[in-house]
Amino acid sequence: MKIVPYKNFYAREIADLYHASVHGTAHTHYSTKQLEAWAPTPPDYAWWGERLSRKKPFLALEGGQVVGFIELEADGHIDCLYTHKDFQRRGVAGRLYRFAEEEAIRRGLQRLYVEASLMACPFFEKRGYTVRTRNQFVRRGVELVNFTMEKNLSG
């Protein structure tokens, strides 16, 4: 597996990965209605293309296939960290996260933060994050819950 910067030709593959990941793994924590609000069917490929061009995520590739991605913003916000549903529990998210944290340190960031889903909280807790707030919000008319989590990088 190698980690590479985003290129526009990966946009559709990433949108499909995101959709499949949400619907294929989060169903144990969220209802079908919530999953559809989170990741509508079909994905909006134009919206994803625009978003990814702005966010410039880091991609995990295996045999030329995108198996995961992470978005690290300039202020230390991790907006997305997703692994292909067929590559869960193979270290993809861990490798992407380590890469992003090393990049954050290289950039001189003092902290990282994320809005983690119910299923992502344990992943971030294992990496030293603490929950700051529980968030309830409405997306596409459906209530969802996530958690703002933070990690201090300044030692």
Q: Return the pLDDT at 155.
A: 66
Specify if 151 maps to a domain: no
Specify if 32 maps to a domain: yes
Residues 6+ apart with CB under 8 A from 21: 82, 83, 84, 85
- Taking residue 153's Cβ as centre, other Cβ atoms within 10 Å add up to 15
Specify if 25 maps to a domain: yes
Q: How far apart are CA 73 and CA 46, in angstroms?
A: 21
Q: Return the pLDDT at 27.
A: 83
Exposure string of 12-44, with b = 16+ CB inside 10 Å and e = fewer, is: eebbbbbbbbbbebbeeebeeebbbbbbeeebe
Q: What are phi and psi of 78, to 5 degrees?
A: -95, 105
Specify if 152 maps to a domain: no
Specify if 41 maps to a domain: yes
Specify if 75 maps to a domain: yes
* Domains identified in the chain, total number: 1
Q: H or E stretch including 7?
A: none
Nearest residue to 60 via CA among 86, 39, 40, 23? 86
| Structural domain harbouring 80 | 2-110
What average pLDDT values come out for the chain (155 residues) when binned by 10 residues? 97 98 89 95 97 98 97 97 94 98 97 96 98 95 96 89
Specify if 43 maps to a domain: yes
CATH number at residue 73: 3.40.630.30
Instruction: Name the pTM for this structure.
Output: 0.95
Specify if 46 maps to a domain: yes
